[in-house]
Amino acid sequence: MSVVMENFISHYITRRRLLIDSLDEQSFVIFRSAQPSVRSRDVCYPFVQEKNLFYLTGIEEEGIVLILGKAGKAEMAKKTFTDRSRWGKAGKAVADESG
């Protein structure tokens, strides 16, 4: 992985870390991606990601859910899920990060 890409990714990891550190013990937050907006029956507006999710992940894809949290002194796993309709009932984790 290039240095530029590593810096790009670490930028979002730092943002998520700051949010997690600010959470109360035994709490979590859920961010859901924006939904496509329909202009007319067969025309959609260009997709614009939900601002908070984009700020924390840089992901510009619909059907994403990000869960961040703390459980006591140990953190809960940070997971990003894609849309259930694409990956089956439980959804598919696309990222299980350490940061």
What's the structural domain count of the chain?
1
Q: Assign residue 39 the CATH number of its domain.
A: 3.40.350.10
CA distance 1 to 78: 22
Q: What is the pLDDT of residue 82?
A: 60
**The domain containing residue 29 runs over which residues?**
3-97
Residue in this structure with the two tokens 């959609």, named with its chain if needed: 44
Whether the CA torsion 24, 52, 13, 63 is positive or negative: it is: positive
pLDDT tens, 24-65? Answer: 888 889 999 998 888 888 888 999 999 999 999 998 888 889
CB 84 within 8 A of CB 92: no
